[in-house]
Structure 1
């Protein structure tokens, strides 16, 4: 069985760079509480779409870049993103078979657990008081998942990314 060479990998890296920029883009104060987890969303899509190209190493590197951009403890976002992608890879085959609303619910749990780890790490370092606001980014990200999936799936098909 002949395998073809990877094509149009630039779109993957461009979309991940755009997600990093969106994660630090300024937002109004009332909306900042529910800032979507852009890097986790885009990374989740590409992990589900091309798991042979994007995985935990990519998540770790993007997490380190996110730590530098956000000015957080070095390795904090890297750990959280790596755990998120580990959970997504563990559920990879099931997630691909689920209808979109079930994917959103599963990703709500995955992102919620990631936010819980993020909250725990922030509380350990003394940066943030524990509140229930940590749920909002996971909820907003789960609600955005169908649109993120549709946009990037269209790009993947149109540009032949594999």
Structure 2
């Protein structure tokens, strides 16, 4: 039954994450937009590693690059790096309480920003504003409720 649930929850959650990334926000809130795709992908990498891996992260990143009109391959690189780190430490991470998982996810989202900065520096793109560095914070704060929501959908109602 769990595999059947994952069958539809996985693509729907990734589609929702992609659509949340497209929602227009006021200029003042743009720096606080969480990286929804990374958060949802992190959940699936931790909870369903047999279905989601490096290749899946790469393909999701290419799709995101096409949807968001970003540099082709940038998000694919960012998500693949994140997936590699999560796969490496998955066994330990699964047993952390949600508060500690949130801190680790915040660190991964900060690492994502560093990778983006390095890609932009390599391409000679102008510097990113300081407000750009705030985005990992809302992602870190959203991790526990997002984890609980996806876990409830994946596992169903517990008695």
TM-score normalised by structure 1 residue count? 0.90
Shift, 1:134, TM fit: 3.2
Matches of 2:126 and 2:100, distance apart in 1: 32
Q: For residue 7 of structure 1, what is the aligned residue in structure 2?
A: 4
Shift, 1:82, TM fit: 0.5
After TM superposition, what 4+ stretches of structure 1 lie above 3 angstroms from structure 2? none
CA contact (8 A) 1:119 1:134 kept: no
Q: For residue 60 of structure 1, what is the aligned residue in structure 2?
A: 58
CA contact (8 A) 1:119 1:128 kept: no
5+ residue gaps, structure 2: none
Q: For residue 117 of structure 1, what is the aligned residue in structure 2?
A: 115
Q: For residue 67 of structure 2, what is the aligned residue in structure 1?
A: 69
Shift, 1:5, TM fit: 8.7
Shift, 1:52, TM fit: 0.6
Cα-to-partner distance string for 1:17-42 (whole Å, 9 max, x where unaligned): 11011111111111111110100000
Q: For residue 27 of structure 1, what is the aligned residue in structure 2?
A: 25
TM-score normalised by structure 2 residue count? 0.91
2:91 to 83, 88, 93: 93
CA contact (8 A) 1:116 1:134 kept: no
Alignment RMSD (CA, Å): 1.8
5+ residue gaps, structure 1: none
